[in-house]
Homo-oligomer: A and B are copies of this chain.
Amino acid sequence: MNQHVPPPRGFTTDELEARTCSAQAAMREVGLDALFLTTEPEFRYFTGFLSQFWESPTRPWYLVVPSQGKPIAVVPEIGAAGIAETWLDDIRTWPAPRPEDDGLRLLAQTLREMASRHRRIGVPLGHESILRMPGQDYAALTTELTTLDFVDARALVRRLRAVKSEAEIAKIHYCCQLVSDGFEALPQALTLGMSERSACKALQLDVLRRGVDSTPYLIGASGPESYDNIIMGPTDRTLEEGDVLVIDTGCTFDGYFCDFDRNFAFGTPSQATERAYRTVYSATDAGFAAARPGATTRDVWSAMWAVMEADGALGNGVGRLGHGLGMQLTEWPSNKADDPVRLAPGMVITLEPGMAFAPGKLMVHEENIVIREDGAEWLTRRAPPDLTAIS
């Protein structure tokens, strides 16, 4: 059923070491003694530690990347056996959950040890970041370590993560191929009168059988001629003659996401719907051509928006026309008019032209690409150029 060769799981120690060294070089440039990280993707990026246990919000997990040497894990005891299998040597644990001190003293001591030179710790604090620890604990930490500066290191971390290695690209590509297979086979499972929920479940089961590990994002939305959102659903709404269904999915393989959608017309689509579909399809082509090294995310946005505007787009309620993709469903950067980021080889992004083609009627298309030296390369297999009709 699955014609593709799965890439190896995990990463070589060489790769994890290279990521750490790159971070340390960037840290030296800005005078940081250590990076302090709290979220799953950041922890995984430097350690290779992949565990579904992050689904449990109870316990904080901390990683400290010093200015040289391996990262240090400050983690709940329950994580010790798992972390011991990574390339890390220094694993500090406490018996969590322990509300009166959930690792905070151990963490403060570790950061103090690491920050003797510049007395500056980098923490992702800026746009698109969160601190995965109690707000009170972060306040107590910065108060206790009052002689240290905690400065935003979001830009440093996201710049590193945005450029993917070949091993990372292979995982995303594989996931995109499995889900492309699933989307191409889906029309055989779709029928008039079925619900959005059944349609999405059919795809979910199929892609899991084909080899994706999980389906954390699998939404469906539908309506006459089109849909009014791309973030809700699926619901029990029945798909009738004249409806359009969009399914947008982020599936994972070995911790790496695909993120793309497909549109399906039930019965005969209206001319306005068909036209809108061809417009976003052409916009995707335009975005693909624009997505070259040295071009900016604004260039990619402009190329796509020009096509949609020329065809009468009323607006775009999504806020952007695509974004970075990798360990998270959506990553930095955004394809936006006012936030130009220069594209570089190895960056993986989505092209997501979407528009309202009539009041309350959206048409959104999405494909995934990687930037190469000589231009963009598809990771997904293109959607059909004409809207797929289900009879």
* Interface bin, chain A: 35 or more
A124 to B136 alpha-carbon distance, docked (Å):
9
A125 to B124 alpha-carbon distance, docked (Å):
18
Given A55-B250, A78-B317, A97-B334: A128 in contact with B135 (beta carbons within 8 A)? no
B134 in contact with A51 (CB, 8 Å): no
A232 in contact with B82 (CB, 8 Å): yes
B56 in contact with A330 (CB, 8 Å): yes
Of B128, B214, B250, the residue contacting A134 (CB under 8 A) is B128
A146 to B187 alpha-carbon distance, docked (Å):
57
A325 to B132 alpha-carbon distance, docked (Å):
20
A339 to B328 alpha-carbon distance, docked (Å):
35
A288 to B6 alpha-carbon distance, docked (Å):
45
B319 in contact with A95 (CB, 8 Å): yes
A215 / chain B contacts, CB cutoff of 8 Å: 214
A232 / chain B contacts, CB cutoff of 8 Å: 51, 53, 81-82, 85
A130 / chain B contacts, CB cutoff of 8 Å: 57, 130-135
A51 to B129 alpha-carbon distance, docked (Å):
20
A126 / chain B contacts, CB cutoff of 8 Å: 99, 134, 136
Given contacts A53-B231, A58-B334, A124-B135, could you give 19 more A-B pairs where the C-beta distance is less than 8 Å? A51-B219, A51-B232, A52-B218, A57-B330, A58-B128, A77-B319, A78-B231, A78-B318, A81-B317, A82-B229, A97-B127, A97-B319, A97-B334, A102-B127, A126-B134, A129-B134, A130-B130, A204-B208, A216-B216
Where the two chains meet, the residues of A that have a C-beta atom closer than 8 Å to any C-beta of B are 9, 51-53, 55-59, 76-82, 85, 95-99, 102, 123-136, 138-139, 152, 154, 201, 204-205, 208-209, 214-219, 228-232, 236, 250, 317-320, 323, 328-330, 334, 336, 339
5 closest A-B pairs by CB = A53-B231, A125-B135, A81-B229, A56-B330, A99-B127
